[in-house]
Amino acid sequence: MKLGEKFSLKVEEIKEIASLMKILENQFKAPVEIEFVVKGKQLSIVQLRPITTLQ
Protein backbone atom coordinates (compact mmCIF):
# COMPACT_ATOMS: atom_id res chain seq x y z
CA MET A 1 0.00 0.00 0.00
CA LYS A 2 1.34 3.44 -0.95
CA LEU A 3 1.41 6.49 1.28
CA GLY A 4 -1.94 8.27 1.15
CA GLU A 5 -3.94 5.18 0.18
CA LYS A 6 -4.93 4.32 3.73
CA PHE A 7 -7.58 6.35 5.53
CA SER A 8 -6.74 7.74 8.96
CA LEU A 9 -10.25 7.21 10.32
CA LYS A 10 -12.55 4.22 10.14
CA VAL A 11 -16.07 4.60 8.77
CA GLU A 12 -17.55 4.14 12.26
CA GLU A 13 -15.33 6.94 13.63
CA ILE A 14 -16.43 9.27 10.82
CA LYS A 15 -20.08 8.50 11.60
CA GLU A 16 -19.47 9.26 15.29
CA ILE A 17 -17.85 12.61 14.46
CA ALA A 18 -20.70 13.52 12.08
CA SER A 19 -23.25 12.68 14.78
CA LEU A 20 -21.38 14.82 17.31
CA MET A 21 -21.27 17.72 14.84
CA LYS A 22 -25.05 17.55 14.35
CA ILE A 23 -25.55 17.71 18.13
CA LEU A 24 -23.21 20.70 18.41
CA GLU A 25 -24.85 22.50 15.47
CA ASN A 26 -28.23 22.05 17.16
CA GLN A 27 -26.86 23.54 20.39
CA PHE A 28 -25.21 26.48 18.60
CA LYS A 29 -28.18 26.85 16.22
CA ALA A 30 -25.60 27.36 13.44
CA PRO A 31 -23.06 25.35 11.46
CA VAL A 32 -19.85 24.76 13.40
CA GLU A 33 -16.18 24.36 12.58
CA ILE A 34 -14.55 21.71 14.69
CA GLU A 35 -10.92 20.74 15.18
CA PHE A 36 -10.25 17.45 16.89
CA VAL A 37 -7.65 14.79 17.55
CA VAL A 38 -8.11 11.06 17.88
CA LYS A 39 -5.77 9.04 20.06
CA GLY A 40 -6.65 5.40 20.24
CA LYS A 41 -10.41 5.35 20.81
CA GLN A 42 -10.51 8.79 22.46
CA LEU A 43 -11.88 11.74 20.46
CA SER A 44 -10.90 15.14 21.87
CA ILE A 45 -12.21 18.47 20.61
CA VAL A 46 -9.42 21.06 20.61
CA GLN A 47 -11.38 23.93 19.06
CA LEU A 48 -15.02 24.58 18.28
CA ARG A 49 -16.65 27.71 16.90
CA PRO A 50 -19.74 28.67 14.93
CA ILE A 51 -19.23 29.44 11.25
CA THR A 52 -20.34 33.06 10.91
CA THR A 53 -19.39 33.70 7.27
CA LEU A 54 -22.14 31.55 5.72
CA GLN A 55 -25.22 33.27 4.33
pLDDT at position 24: 93
pLDDT at position 5: 67
Q: Name the residue ranges covered by the structural domains of the chain.
A: 11-50
Which runs of consecutive H residues, i.e. helices, occur in 1-55? 11-28
Q: Is the distance from CB of 48 to CB of 32 less than 8 angstroms?
A: yes
Of the CA atoms within 13 Å of residue 48, those in its CB half-sphere come to 16
- The tens-digit pLDDT sequence of the chain (55 residues) is 565 567 788 888 889 899 999 999 999 998 999 999 888 888 899 999 988 887 6
pTM of the model: 0.70
